[in-house]
Chains A and B, each alone.
Chain A
Amino acid sequence: MKAKIVVMPKKAVLDPQGKTVQNALAHMGYTGIGAVHVGKYLEIELAGADKEAARRQIDEACHKILSNPVIEDYRFEIE
């Protein structure tokens, strides 16, 4: 199995990186570009076949270390 995790800055948190990418896209002539948010994507390879147990474990890991709940939200899927 594999966990695919996306970590994004919370809406209320300043995202200067996203803003800079947005400005760069506009400068390059791309039109209709709205707000850009830059986050992280992680893939974790998992041994075993118990999807529910894997889900619990990944959720805990996301909360404890893979994201910082003060500034980030996360979502994941197990495949």
Chain B
Amino acid sequence: MNLITLILMAVITFTTRYLFLHPRLPIKLGAKTIKVLSFSAPAVLTAIWVPIIFVREQALILSPTNPYLIGATIAVILAAKGNNIYVTVGVGMLVFIGMKFIFQY
């Protein structure tokens, strides 16, 4: 029973990924649509990471002792200054773990 559920789930995740890559699909993207879509990466990725920082169990956490907030702020500054991904992620993680330890979050 579970097996059928899993296979149907796999069909759904694959379809959402593959559908618009299929050449026979009768849609043609206009110049305007392509320009709108050019903003999709910053839009979706931001919509994934920002709630991780600010929302815990359906509550907004803006406290300055929130380790997520401190770690993310440092990471944003490092990334904006042109550091590579390893430095940004590494220092961001260390700050986060340190703050978590200090504030017993």
Do A and B form a real pair? Answer: no
Residues of B within 8 A of A (CB): none
